[in-house]
Amino acid sequence: MTTTVPTPAPVFEGVLAARYRAQTGVGAGGFESALPALLAAPDQALPVPPADVRTVWGQGGSADPVAVAEILHRARADSAQPWPVPLATAAARLHDDGDREGWESVAFERQRRLSRAALAATHTLSATALGEVLDGVWLLCEQSSWCWPAHDDALRAHGSVLPVVTDPYLDLGAGEAVGQLAWIDHVLGARLEARYPGIRSRIRHEARVRVFDPFTRRRDWHWLGLDGDVHNWNPWIHGNVLVAALRLLDAPGDAAERARVVALAIEGIDRYVTALPPDGAIDEGYAYWWNGACRALEALDILRHATGGALDAADIPALRETVAFPHRMHLSGGWYLNLADGQARPLAAQPWHALHRAARAVGDPDAAAHAAAHRVAGAPAASEHEGLGRLLRAITDTEWVGAVEDAAPLPRDVWLPSTEVLLARPRGGSAAGLTLAAKGGHNDEHHNHNDVGSFVVASDGVPVIVDAGRPTYTLQTFGPDRYDIWTMQSGWHNVPVIGGAEQGAGAGFAASGVEALITDASASLSMDLSGAYPGVTTPWRRTVRLDREAGRVTVEDSWPSAGSAEGSPTSIRMLLAGDVRLGDAETLIVTPLDGASPVRISWPAGVPAALVVRELDDPMLSEVWGQSLTRLDLDVTTRDHVVVTVELDQTNAEDAR
């Protein structure tokens, strides 16, 4: 073992600890000693009944019958197939060509199969189903590492392209694995142990060696946020560690260790909650809310249950605000404002039940309606793709199972000062017409793209001037060559290229003088972009505005003089999705995806325009945008002021196509 153990950091006392102290009367730093008395017994600590509660899990029980039936069908099909086996060559390949998918896709499917088996066994209690669970649990326990290869530090620490079993790395994958085993133990542990004595002790051994010991021994994990940089790994891992500690540290002599691990998990989540801005915004964007803020909400809800309500964080303002973040970023249907590495049309199968539960807890009817808008009648309440814990919680949440499909709230205006993001539409409750979204910010946000000053325009809620998102993750995505990826570069965002310069990466490359103005007639965001560009010292003022009455978006850029050196042009760029054709004079028509209303983009006479088509060969992009995106380049080298207008096209829609 070569790991250096740092000096333990002082106990962190943030907004979560302050709230819990007020609720319990425990003094600062006293949670660990108070927890044994506050925590429920291990077999009662998780908010899902075990398999022996047949009024929930048996035939005709209250667990969602649609989800159970669908998963039983897939579990039966599994039995005719060999278990997926993630290979060493696939793990090592990461260091050859950067590929992550070869190992991850196989490992993830194995864990999904185990979740299906666990639900089938919980429902049927059959010997065959229990045997399938045993095989899956054993395979997971025999897997050399639960850490996803892209996260492991084995190469840096040991010079190995494969995991080093004597020095396990605690990452998202290890958290997911131990969380899955804890939920299996909770619902099926007694039944498994009765048929296969010794399996529960194996689970506990692996949890201790791979998770509890590294978690408490090493306090230099980057995801702890000790340096103030707190991101979505924090609540995701801490939440799984919390679940595992509550259930698996159940031996007579484990009480002190259980309290210690739970206290450290609370402290870690406290760092995330304390760093959450007052407006609840997530700089990684909507797609990462589910595995960041949502994970924190879920973990704190489990802690509330495990303490019989003694520790309840529902009224912390930032948590209440972040429950609203998903519907504030909603454009229409499956489309969302995507920032950073997020997709504009993410997978529809999100854990909507978790949002619905959180909305109920904080009393946010709009957030609850947004979640219920995705609760399609007759559809399963959840699937195994969300992870076993989320699946079990969803299909036993009777309020979610019985929720009726609702209308999405679609607020008229959203302004999030912490991330400098504005979203505005002509009227609340409707996606019709043009929706404008724009951002200021800086270029060191989590999952950052160089996009200070970028904007998105949607027609009828469908993005037409767009942010591409990101391609499939590889080793390069989070390495030193990240900004060699075209989707991360400002040149492929809706921002200018100034004197040949694109934006720089880092917190110092930021917008300044940001001003949001929202009235009944219009909404606008104005800022100076010059600070986002290396070597640019003269101001570049950009104002994007939605005129509600005219149904028009304008993008106005002004700068003191042309100022571009010969051979270093200045251009304004816009990335377009849909069918693009040049119109008369200085216009083009874009027919968006999904049958949305065509849009006309116009610019001043005499400004040269060029179209650059980018073919999309990565499914993370093509599944959202189709086969290509088109970039509009406006050469403004000789100008000092340009206004671009975006309007619904009034010509015949069929002609526009």
pLDDT, tens digit (0-9, with 9 covering 90-100), for 159-182: 999 999 999 999 999 999 999 999
Residue 191 three-state SS: helix
- CA torsion sign for 631, 480, 285, 548 is negative
pLDDT 10s digits, 30-74:
678 899 999 999 999 999 999 999 999 999 999 999 999 999 999
Average pLDDT, the chain: 94
Confidence (pLDDT) at 161: 95
pLDDT tens, 215-265?
A: 999 999 999 999 889 999 999 999 999 999 999 999 999 999 999 999 999
pLDDT digits (tens, 9 = 90+) for 182-208: 999 999 999 999 999 999 999 999 999
Q: How many CA atoms are closer than 13 Å to the CA of 640, on its beta-carbon side? A: 7
Tell me how far apart the alpha carbons of residues 592 and 460 are, in angstroms, rounded to a whole number: 9
Residue 482: per-residue pLDDT: 94
Exposure of 492 in the CB half-sphere (CA atoms within 13 A):
19
Supply angle C-alpha 605, 606, 610, rounded to 5.
105
Global confidence as pTM: 0.94
Over residues 504-515, mean pLDDT:
97
Residue 423, pLDDT score: 98
Q: Does residue 93 register a pLDDT over 90? A: yes
Output the pLDDT for position 567: 57
Find out whether 630 and 580 touch, Cβ atoms under 8 Å. Answer: yes
Q: Return the pLDDT at 4.
A: 47
**Residue 5: what pLDDT?**
46
Give the 3-state secondary structure of residue 632.
strand
Q: Per residue in 555-613, pLDDT tens?
A: 999 998 744 444 589 999 999 999 999 988 899 999 999 999 999 999 999 999 999 99
Work out the average pLDDT over 275-282: 96
| pLDDT for 134 | 98
Ordered DSSP codes for 351-387 = -HHHHHHHHHHHT-HHHHHHHHTT--TTS-S--GGG-
Query: Out of 283-292, 453-462, 488-497, 563-572, which region has the weakest mean confidence (pLDDT)?
Result: 563-572
- The answer, yes or no, to whether residue 209 has pLDDT greater than 50, is yes
**Residue 509: in which H helix or E strand, if any?**
strand 506-510
Among residues of the chain, what percentage have pLDDT more than 70? 96
* Tens-digit pLDDT profile for residues 117-140: 999 999 999 999 999 999 999 999
Question: Which residues, other chains included, contact 330 with Cβ-Cβ below 8 Å and sequence gap of 6+?
Answer: 286, 336, 337, 370, 408, 409, 410
Residue 1 is predicted with a pLDDT of 44
Helices vs. strands in the chain: H and E counts, helices first: 23, 21
CA angle 342, 618, 580 (to 5 degrees): 85
Q: What is the pLDDT of residue 7?
A: 46
Mean pLDDT of 538-544: 97
Q: Is residue 390 over pLDDT 90?
A: yes
Token pair for 44: 């009662």
At 650 the pLDDT is 80
Strand 442-443 versus strand 434-439 pairing type: unpaired
Provide the pLDDT for residue 195.
98
Tens digits of residue pLDDT in 134-158: 999 999 999 999 999 999 999 999 9
State both tokens at 2.
């070569």
Question: 608 is written with which tokens?
Answer: 């040269």
Residue type at 433?
Answer: G
Question: Can you tell me the distance from the alpha carbon of 312 to that of 304, in angstroms, rounded to the nearest whole number?
Answer: 5
DSSP codes of every residue in 563-623: -PPTT---EEEEEE-SEEEE-SSSEEEEE-GGGPPPEEEE--TT--EEEEEEE--SHHHHH
Q: Is the pLDDT assigned to residue 652 strictly greater than 80? A: no
Q: Are 39 and 262 in contact (CB under 8 A)?
A: yes
- pLDDT, residue 9, reads 55
**513-535: average pLDDT:** 97
Place of tokens 């197939």: 81
Tokens, residue 520: 């009944």
Strands (DSSP E) found in 106-157: none
How does residue 29 score in pLDDT terms, banded at 50, 70 and 90? low
Say which amino acid occupies 194. A
Q: Quick one: DSSP state of residue 473?
A: -
Q: What are phi and psi of 372, to 5 degrees?
A: -65, -25
Q: How far apart are CA 452 and CA 445, in angstroms?
A: 10
d(CA 416, CA 647) in angstroms, rounded, equals 25
